[in-house]
């Protein structure tokens, strides 16, 4: 296993299977009320440059349930915000804690942390990827469908960080992804090329109806990611027609299921009737952040 988890492709197929199996076991143990302390004495620093609900809560609770401890660090209260170099912060922090989870605007910030930290660094969301989200999404799809092989996944909306990790995850899982975005909001070419070169299956289209036809899973996310706020009005106009609503769902199979990493913006990328409807798996997906990340933490931090 790599020291760090910055991309969903920092793990291979076997490691993904092991993480999913461990996550399933940890989920069962939690439901049975079994407590354990495999990470006793371990501390995880959680550095946030941007807002978070799920990532913050699930990592903090996850460390706690494994017998360890997590420290919430708002980057704005740290010396980094006053100009201390990342490489210095990374080396100093490595002397105190067993791992660092960081949510940053720029992926390069997290990469620099990882380069200089002597302990595992986990990407808790960057402009490029959201690999922890994908662990939970894959777990949720596996729980619901059993096998991932030959599933058809449709992404509708912005070709953003979560979309990138979903595309890359096709290399590990055997499902294919069809991505429907408006012009100019396609996922980066290098992500698509890399995925195809590694045997993953991604197809880019413009029409949401075309993407969801035959799909087993429909995934969407905000049209305005953190950091994109200045473009909000323009984005809302461009993305109109890309809402996952009852109308779009009529083009999909009644057995299709819907994922959203949350936070959701009802009436924008997803309609209330879909969020609250019988095809939505979003609450299982949110819950699985906890179990999947606990499995990841055990693998990275247990020596």
| CB of 258 or CB of 262, closer to ligand CP | 262
- Helical ranges in the chain per DSSP H: 13-31, 54-65, 86-94, 107-116, 131-145, 161-173, 189-197, 208-212, 232-238, 246-249, 272-275, 282-301
| Integer Cα distance of 23 and 17 in angstroms | 10
CB of 251 to ligand CP, least distance (A): 26
Question: Per DSSP, what are the bridge partners of residue 7?
Answer: none
Question: Using the rule CB under 6 A, is 160 a contact of ligand NVA?
Answer: yes
Catalytic residue among 163, 221, 235, 293: 221
The residues near 227 (Cβ < 8 Å, ≥ 6 apart) are 50, 105, 127
- Residues 123 to 142 in contact with ligand CP, rule: CB under 6 A: 125, 133
Question: Using the rule CB under 6 A, is 261 a contact of ligand NVA?
Answer: yes
229 in active site: no
261 in active site: yes
221 in active site: yes
Q: 141: buried, middle or exposed (CB in 10 Å: 19+, 13-18, 0-12)?
A: buried
Taking CB under 6 A as the binding criterion, the range among 85-93, 94-102, 149-157, 219-227 that sits at the site for ligand NVA is: 219-227
CB of 278 to ligand NVA, least distance (A): 24
Question: Using the rule CB under 6 A, is 204 a contact of ligand NVA?
Answer: no
133 in active site: yes
CB of 290 to ligand CP, least distance (A): 12
| Integer Cα distance of 240 and 50 in angstroms | 26
Catalytic residue among 107, 130, 260, 291: 130
Question: Using the rule CB under 6 A, is 262 a contact of ligand CP?
Answer: yes
- Residues 53 to 72 in contact with ligand CP, rule: CB under 6 A: 53-55
**Residue 89's binding partner, choosing from ligand CP, ligand NVA, none, with beta-carbon cut-off 5 to 8 A by kind?**
none
174 by DSSP, 3-state: which?
coil
Instruction: Report in angstroms the alpha-carbon separations of 158 from 213, 250, 275, 302.
Output: 19, 21, 18, 37
Quote the DSSP letter at residue 229. Answer: G
Question: Using the rule CB under 6 A, is 108 a contact of ligand CP?
Answer: no
Q: Which two tokens stand for residue 24?
A: 């399933």
Question: Using the rule CB under 6 A, is 164 a contact of ligand CP?
Answer: no
130 in active site: yes
| CB of 102 or CB of 298, closer to ligand NVA | 102
Closest CA to 222 of 107, 109, 125: 125
Active site amino acids: 103, 130, 133, 221, 261, 289
Chain residues in the site for ligand CP (CB under 6 A):
52-55, 125, 133, 261-263
Chain residues in the site for ligand NVA (CB under 6 A):
125, 160-162, 221-222, 225-226, 261
């Amino acid at each position: 296993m790599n020291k760090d988890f910055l991309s969903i492709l920092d793990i291979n197929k076997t490691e993904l299977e092991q993480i999913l199996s461990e996550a399933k076991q940890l989920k069962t143990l939690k439901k049975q009320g079994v407590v354990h302390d495999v990470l006793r004495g371990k501390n995880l620093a959680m550095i946030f440059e941007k807002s978070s609900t799920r990532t913050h809560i699930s990592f903090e609770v996850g460390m706690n349930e494994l017998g360890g401890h997590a420290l919430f660090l708002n980057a704005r209260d740290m010396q980094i915000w006053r100009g201390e170099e990342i490489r210095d912060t990374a080396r100093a922090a490595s002397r105190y804690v067993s791992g660092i989870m960081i949510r940053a605007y720029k992926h390069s910030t997290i990469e620099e942390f990882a380069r200089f930290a002597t302990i595992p660094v986990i990407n808790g969301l960057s402009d490029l990827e959201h690999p922890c989200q994908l662990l939970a999404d894959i777990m949720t799809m596996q729980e619901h469908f059993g096998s991932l092989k030959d599933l058809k996944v449709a992404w509708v909306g912005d070709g953003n960080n979560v979309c990138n990790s979903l595309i890359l995850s096709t290399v590990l899982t055997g499902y294919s992804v069809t991505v429907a975005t408006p012009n100019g909001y396609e996922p980066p070419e290098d992500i698509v090329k890399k995925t195809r070169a590694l045997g993953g299956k991604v197809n880019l289209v413009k029409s949401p109806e075309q993407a969801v036809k035959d799909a087993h899973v429909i995934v969407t996310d905000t049209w305005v990611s953190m950091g994109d706020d200045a473009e909000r009005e323009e984005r809302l106009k461009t993305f109109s027609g890309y809402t996952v609503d009852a109308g779009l769902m009529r083009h999909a199979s009644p057995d299709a299921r819907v994922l959203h990493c949350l936070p959701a913006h009802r009436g924008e990328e997803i309609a209330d009737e879909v969020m609250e409807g019988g095809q939505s798996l979003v609450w299982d997906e949110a819950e699985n952040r906890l179990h999947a990340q606990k499995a990841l933490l055990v693998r990275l931090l247990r020596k």
